[in-house]
Amino acid sequence: MRTEHGLALLLFAATLALFWPACGFDFMGLDDIEYAAQNPMVIDGLRWEGVRQAFTTVREQWWLPLLWISYMADVSMFGPGPHGHHFANVLLHAANAALLFWVLFRLTGSRWRSAFAAALFAWHPTRVEAVAWIAARKDVLSGFFFMLGLWAYARHAEKPSGRRLAWTCGWLLAGLMSKGVLVAVPFLLLVLDFWPLRRARLEWRSAAWAAWKPLLWEKLPLFGLAAAFMAVNVATHHSGWEGTGHVAGTDRLGMIAPNVVAYLRLIACPLHLSILYPERDVVSWPWSLAATAVLALATVALFLRRERQPYLLAGWLWFLLGLAPVVRGVRLGLAQYADRWTYLPLIGVGIALAWLAAEVGRGRARKALLAVAGLVLAACVAKTHAQLPWWRDTLTMFARAAWLTPVHPLVQSTYGQALYQAGRFGEGEAHLRAALELDPDKAEYLSNWGRALLRLGRAEEALAAQDRALARQPEVGRFHGNRGNALLALGRRDEAQAAFAEAVRLQPNLAEAQSRLGDLLFRANRAAEALPHYEAAAHLRPDMALNWFNLGLAQAQLGRSAEALANVERALRIDPDLPGAQAAATRLRLLAF
């Protein structure tokens, strides 16, 4: 057992070392802000009120309470910055690598095959997205619970008991509360029952049904959990259907087989990896039928060899079943594919390759086989190491994505916003305009373009863009805030105040709108009304010195000198050169005497 423990520890340490650079990366402009950086439920850290909200509310159109709780725990342990979130992702993935090896060894008794399958899973370049993207925590966290569920099921298979099966159900429940993709788990456990557990055989005989029946029966609670979470996902994730309602059911079926083949290509040849890939809802029926025929023939061929090489059929079925919830045509939305969605399906590919190679490489071919296996893993490590730096910040990632996928409107929009944040307003406006040209009906692209126009001094055009965006989606508070900024630039302060008030009414977590509304009220000598808005801005963006300075000024005007001094000093700790802060602190210290 020393060798097995050593291999598990080696996999953990090597995976941790490979992905360690990600711990220094920034928040990604796509989803990380809403998920963690400025999520009001997360930024206070782990507390009972936050836990209650995680279980009782739907966030980002998902009911995933353990995901939000994990982000809260990061903030409590490491602070609100990105580094703690990244470290947790890396740690979870390294733990998953070690756990997968241990589970496969427990199930099969094969040490080195299990190690190869686990290493391929851990070091494949498609892992980078799941590990380096904070918003992709869903994959590594649900994967962690999935591995623990497999371990519990392996123990149950050795000695069936209600208690051990209950542990399997518990881990599945935790995984489903981290990501709904684990609805495939009951089917994957049936694959394990075929091989390597050999609890039943795939035969067209009554004796085979007699063996499968109790296995299906014991998994009824697992199927029940999967069905419940499928219903929850369909009920909560409305945006997945946006723009896809016109796609016929037959077209969705026609998308499935080509998408499966695309994932096989992605795994076999992970080149030109990107955070986003083009979306198309047009089906090429000749290609679809050809792909369906290829997949069907492969499945039949492996089924016919199920007695001699059962691991091939088991690995193939694992890949297909693990991919089923996210495959194009089945999942909500029509994205071609995403690297992170291979997180669990890749395990099946690794199993099939490891056991096939071990069988082929017996005898004299053993050394050659070991050399090939080493080269495959070395190539994975090299490509992963080269891929990681693209994820260090939004500007870097989306500069690459815009080069790889220039016709994707979300890529153009996000890259444009990153340029805007970097102060490169002219370049940002060009990409934001390109996003709008690619998708003229998207209100968000209109509003983002209007922000860039405002920074270029084109306030009238900016206001017109915000009005057009609000005509399409009047319920989005962020658009009202952007409109308020345009009105403010035009000197229409009363209208700007009304716009900011509407923005915070619709979306109280908009730090900029809260701060701007507080400014307008404060300058109108209404400090008492401004105070709660400054407090909200400071709570939402505690990293911004100006928010604490403004809060201190409002408190000083209301006679709360001690609180005011504390907040002004906090602003100075964040930014010692903040204009006016040193003088305000001096005055408040004199008042304290």
Name the band, by pLDDT with cuts 50, 70 and 90, for residue 333.
Answer: low
CATH number belonging to domain 531-593: 1.25.40.10
pLDDT in tens, 279-295: 766 788 999 999 999 99
Name the band, by pLDDT with cuts 50, 70 and 90, for residue 479.
Answer: very high
- Burial (Cβ within 10 Å: 0-12, 13-18, ≥19) of residue 207: exposed
What average pLDDT does the chain have?
Answer: 93
Task: Report the phi/psi class of residue 507: left, alpha or beta, with left for phi > 0 and alpha for psi in -120 to 50.
Answer: beta
Q: Is the distance from CB of 180 to CB of 131 less than 8 angstroms? A: no
Average the pLDDT over 534-556 and give the result. 93
Name the band, by pLDDT with cuts 50, 70 and 90, for residue 209.
Answer: confident
Residue 201: half-sphere exposure toward Cβ, Cα within 13 Å: 11
Of 223-232, 354-363, 417-426, the least confident: 354-363
Measured in whole angstroms, how far is the alpha carbon of residue 311 from the centre of its chain?
A: 31
Helix (H, G, I), strand (E, B) or coil at 59: strand
Average the pLDDT over 181-193 and give the result. 96
Q: Is the distance from CB of 143 to CB of 95 less than 8 angstroms? A: no
Average the pLDDT over 360-384 and give the result. 87
Q: What is the pTM of this model?
A: 0.92
> What proportions of the chain, in percent to the nearest 5, are helix, strand and coil?
75, 0, 25
- Angstrom distance (rounded) from CA 113 to CA 196: 13
Q: Which residues contact 415 (CB under 8 A, 6 or more apart)?
A: 395, 398, 399, 401, 402, 431
Q: Which residue has the higher pLDDT, 197 or 38?
A: 197
Helix (H, G, I), strand (E, B) or coil at 243: coil
- Angstrom distance (rounded) from CA 435 to CA 414: 9
Percentage of the chain beyond pLDDT 90 is 83
Closest of 187, 182, 157 to residue 172, by C-alpha: 182
Average the pLDDT over 128-139 and give the result. 97
Q: Which residue has the tokens 């630039």?
A: 489
Radius of gyration, CA atoms only, the chain: 27
Average the pLDDT over 262-279 and give the result. 91
Q: pLDDT at residue 500 above 90? A: yes
- pLDDT at residue 329 in the model: 83
Q: pLDDT at residue 484 above 80? A: yes
Q: pLDDT at residue 143 above 80? A: yes
What are the residues facing 62 on neighbouring strands?
Answer: 59
- pLDDT at residue 467 in the model: 97
- Angstrom distance (rounded) from CA 329 to CA 283: 10
- Angstrom distance (rounded) from CA 373 to CA 116: 8
Percentage of the chain beyond pLDDT 70 is 97
Domain boundaries of the chain, sorted by first residue: 2-238+251-390, 531-593
Q: Is the distance from CB of 179 to CB of 325 less than 8 angstroms? A: no
- pLDDT at residue 238 in the model: 65
Could you tell me the two tokens for 290? 């050809």
Q: pLDDT at residue 394 above 60? A: yes
What are the residues facing 335 on neighbouring strands?
Answer: 279
Q: Which helix (H) or strand (E) holds 100?
A: helix 82-108
Of 32-46, 201-215, 531-545, the least confident: 201-215
pLDDT in tens, 55-110: 999 988 889 999 999 999 999 999 989 999 999 999 999 999 999 999 999 999 99
3-state secondary structure 106-165: HHHCCHHHHHHHHHHHHHCCCHHHHHHCHHHHHHHHHHHHHHHHHHHHHHHHHCCCHHHH
What one-character DSSP code corresponds to residue 199?
A: S
- Angstrom distance (rounded) from CA 233 to CA 229: 6
Dihedral angle over CA of 55, 57, 59, 61, nearest 10: 110
Crossing angle between the packed helical segments 345-360 and 249-268, to the nearest 10 degrees: 50
- pLDDT at residue 281 in the model: 66
Q: pLDDT at residue 155 above 90? A: yes
- Angstrom distance (rounded) from CA 209 to CA 188: 18
Amino acid at 415: Y
- pLDDT at residue 245 in the model: 53
- pLDDT at residue 244 in the model: 53
Q: Which residues contact 457 (CB under 8 A, 6 or more apart)?
A: none
Q: Is the distance from CB of 42 to CB of 70 less than 8 angstroms? A: no
- pLDDT at residue 336 in the model: 72
Q: Give whole-number Cα distances, 215 to 103, 348, 392, in Å.
A: 20, 21, 46
Phi, psi at 503, each rounded to 5°: -60, -50
Average the pLDDT over 323-335 and give the result. 81
Q: pLDDT at residue 332 above 70? A: no
Cis previous bond, 270, omega within 30: no
- pLDDT at residue 305 in the model: 94
- Select the highest-mean-pLDDT range: 55-64, 162-171, 364-373, 581-590: 162-171
Q: pLDDT at residue 243 above 70? A: no
Average the pLDDT over 241-263 and give the result. 79
